[in-house]
Amino acid sequence: MNADNAAKPIYVTDVILRDAHQSLIATRMRTEDMLPVCEKLDQVGYWSLEVWGGATFDACVRFLKEDPWERLRQLRAALPNTRLQMLLRGQNLLGYRHYADDVVEAFVERAAANGIDVFRVFDALNDLRNLETAIRAVKKTGKHAQATICYTTSPVHTTALYIKQAKALRDMGADSIALKDMAGLLTPYATYDLVKALKEAVDLPIFIHSHSTAGLAALCQLKAIEAGAEHIDTAISSFAGGTSHPATESQVAALKGTQWDTGLDLELLQEIADYFREVRKKYHQFESEFTREDVSVQISQVPGGMMSNLANQLKEQHALGRIREVFDEIPRVRKDLGYPPLVTPTSQIVGTQAVLNVLSGERYKTITNEVKRYLAGGYGQPPAPVDPQIQKQAIGNGEVIDVRPADLLKAELPQLRAEIGEAALSEEDVLTYAMFQDIGRKFLEERNSGTLTPEVLLPIGSNDRPADEGVPTEFTIDVHGESYQVSITGIGALGAGKRSVYLTLDGVPEEVAFKPLNSFVAGASSERGGRVASLPGHVTTSMPGNIVDVLVTVGQQVTAGQAVLVTEAMKMETEIQAPLAGTVTAVNVVKGDRVTPGDILIEIE
């Protein structure tokens, strides 16, 4: 056997516990569905299992009401023989803003201490300055620092640029390089050329993380292997394909008997796949038709996780029918912003702005705070120049920074510790608060008082499609031990703050008025119920969300265009402006309220 044919096993990272369910069921898999199969997972001989990341952490705190640190400790204990891997958003850690270096250092140290062995670190803009602190912190713990190149296509994203980045990452001390193709944009021959060039430029192991969105990822991985890549990310078959990843078993079978044989046991993998096939059924309400293979990603560049989240968000506001318009708008916004790769947080920044541009009927009529911050240099340097006119519209003559954003931040941990106070029982709790602020605090307080309430999973077999798609939505409801069959066959007229639906209960159809659940508001804002914005001075919102801040009080004079509210939708903040000049006559919302389009939030006369 000559040197070229010498055995060179390919190492496999299975992403079933992180990216696979993030890409297919909105990151909802619970720890209780992971632990029973860990013994088998631990026997496979994977190079690593990806178990943690921003979205899993977020979903734990926001929806599942699980302590993400506790999940990590449980997985660590259940997987003693397998490296655990996490995805870290560089200076953003697992959150959506830049943190000061002391928070980055503390987070990495605690994540390592709780069980992470491999840190895959990326920056959404590939601004490598945003990786430096995290990589240094990982090296300090003695764990594996994997630096990431986010792959995208644009006039400025050339092989030469990626090689320059790879060399800089090597010089930073990276132990390996991940080529992260979050949207499934790689094509097989482009992969071959890029990996070949990277292997010639830097002597580091290369990991191929590619989503099957366009149906090409398995082919890309094979070409990457031929070009010298050593590692592939796969998902066990029952959570593979589409916006997820190539199936583990398929790749293992494809390489079997070759010089790249992974050595993994297909029968054991099949047992694991059978287990997760059953698990997946429990989460049917989070399945989306937009997670299937769709080559249009080669045009829109929307990554898998973003596609299923956008679909869920639009569904919530009965605007799912406009998703194609949003997909068309995304590349335009991306060009305006200097071609950022689309990955958290830029995927949300671009995606939310695209939704606003479509739903509000006028591009950049409303600009999110994150887009303003982005255009002011607050996330780092965009890959290409931004549109100067939109930049001016967004930030006026405000300052644009060109230093590393975190250089402008003072140490934050002391203040975070003081803010969260006794609700934090550990340093990990302080970091949970640091990541998610109000939601983090709420989680910690509810955990401490034993009042955490996870979101409800619809029973298997119920049809959860939205009623306005013309398909009956059927539920089985159990009340005091009796089961009722309920089906909703359509949405009726919008009344005063209420909408009627056509409800069939035990076969008898009836039109019943309901207040939509997503406009339910408790306490101080209840006076808003019953009326819908109709006058020019009624301030409303174009997307359902939460009130983050109220900037005006009753009696205050405001000018047209003045910011009066800050809302949060799709994890992005938006300032809502006064539609006209006048006096504020009513403020119907307080911080924390859930609001929906049509609600009268503020009245100006």
State the nearest-atom distance from the C-beta of 270 to Mn ion, in Å.
24
Residue nearest Mn ion by beta-carbon distance:
19
- Least separation in angstroms between residue 86's CB and Mn ion is 12
Distance CA 91, CA 124 (A): 10
For residue 477, the minimal CB distance to Mn ion (Å) is 37
For 76-116, give the DSSP string: HHH-TTSEEEEEE-GGGTTSSSPPPHHHHHHHHHHHHHHT-
Q: Within its chain, how far is the Cα of 579 from the centroid?
A: 32
Rank residues 243 and 368 by Cβ distance to Mn ion and give the closer one.
Answer: 243
Of residues 494 through 533, those in contact with Mn ion by CB under 5 A are none
Selected range binding Mn ion among 178-186, 533-541, 548-556, 580-588, rule: CB under 5 A: 178-186
**H or E segment and range at residue 28:** none
Closest to Mn ion by CB, 182 or 269? 182
Nearer to Mn ion, 53 or 95 (CB): 53
* Residue whose CB is less far from Mn ion, 306 or 600: 306
Residues 380-419 that bind Mn ion (CB under 5 A): none
Nearer to Mn ion, 182 or 413 (CB): 182
Least distance CB 222 / Mn ion (angstroms): 19
- Smallest gap from residue 54 Cβ to Mn ion (A): 11
Minimum CB separation of residue 449 from Mn ion in Å reads 36
Contact yes or no for 225/10 (Cβ under 8 A): yes
Angle formed at CA 531 by CA 528 and CA 535, multiple of 5 degrees: 105
Question: How many CA atoms are closer than 13 Å to the CA of 27, on its beta-carbon side?
Answer: 26
Stretch of residues binding Mn ion (CB under 5 A), selected from 95-103, 177-185, 352-360, 546-554: 177-185
How far from 124 is each of 20, 152, 230, 484, CA to CA, in Å? 20, 11, 24, 48
CB of 207 or CB of 436, closer to Mn ion:
207
Nearest residue (CB) to Mn ion, 234 versus 567: 234
Q: Is 452 exposed, middle or buried (0-12, 13-18, 19+ CB in 10 A)?
A: middle
Is 90 within 8 Å of 122 (Cβ atoms)?
yes
Smallest CA-to-CA distance from 173 within 207, 151, 202 is with 202
CB nearer Mn ion, residue 116 or residue 371: 116
Sequence-ordered list of residues with C-beta below 8 angstroms from that of 360, at least 6 positions apart, any chain = 366, 542
Cβ atoms of residues 177 and 197 within 8 Å: no
CA distances from 197 to 4, 115, 186, 203 (A): 18, 34, 15, 11
Nearest distance in Å: CB 495, Mn ion: 44
Q: Is 19 in the site for Mn ion (CB under 5 A)?
A: yes
Phi, psi angles (nearest 5°) of residue 453: -125, 105
Please give the backbone phi and psi of residue 48, each rounded to the nearest 5 degrees, phi first. Answer: -160, 165
Residues 6+ apart with CB under 8 A from 456: none
- The span of 16-24, 418-426, 476-484, 568-576 binding Mn ion (CB under 5 A) equals 16-24
| Under rule CB under 5 A, residue 14 binds Mn ion | no
Output the CA–CA distances (angstroms, integers) from residue 394 to 60, 64, 285, 365, in the order listed.
34, 36, 38, 10
Which window, 29-37, 107-115, 180-188, 593-601, contacts Mn ion (CB under 5 A)?
180-188
Q: What is the closest distance, in whole angstroms, from the C-beta atom of residue 263 to Mn ion in the complex? A: 25
Closest approach, Cβ 180 to Mn ion, in A, equals 7
- What is the smallest separation between the CB atom of 85 and Mn ion, expressed in angstroms? 12
The smaller minimum CB distance to Mn ion, of residues 22 and 74, is found at: 22
Q: Following DSSP, what letter does each residue of 208-222 receive, concatenated?
A: EEE-GGGS-HHHHHH
User: Rounded distance, CA 314 to CA 327, Å?
Assistant: 12
Q: Which two tokens stand for residue 74?
A: 């449980």
Least Å from the CB of residue 397 to Mn ion:
39
Closer residue to Mn ion, CB minimum distance, 29 or 416: 29
Under a CB-based contact definition with an 8 Å cutoff, are residues 429 and 422 in contact? no
Nearer to Mn ion, 538 or 571 (CB): 571
Residues 315 and 358: their CA atoms lie apart, in Å, by 15
Q: Which of 465, 481, 535, 477 is nearest to 506 (CA)?
A: 477
Of 96 and 151, the one with the shorter C-beta distance to Mn ion is 151
Number of chain positions touching Mn ion (CB under 5 A): 2
Task: Pick the piece of the chain touching Mn ion (CB under 5 A) from 156-164, 176-184, 251-259, 381-389.
Answer: 176-184
Instruction: State the nearest-atom distance from the C-beta of 348 to Mn ion, in Å.
Output: 15
Instruction: Please identify, using beta-carbon distances, which residue of 19 and 329 lies nearer to Mn ion.
Output: 19
Part in contact with Mn ion (CB under 5 A); list of ranges 76-84, 123-131, 174-182, 518-526: 174-182
| Residue 416, token pair as written in the block | 């975070």
Angle at 24 between CA 18 and CA 28, to 5 degrees: 60
Of 235 and 572, nearer to Mn ion (C-beta) is: 235
Beta carbon of residue 28, minimum distance to Mn ion (angstroms, whole number): 16
Query: Per-residue x/- mask for Mn ion, residues 181 to 200, rule CB under 5 A?
Result: -x------------------
Smallest separation, CB 22 to Mn ion (Å): 7
Footprint of Mn ion (CB under 5 A) = 19, 182
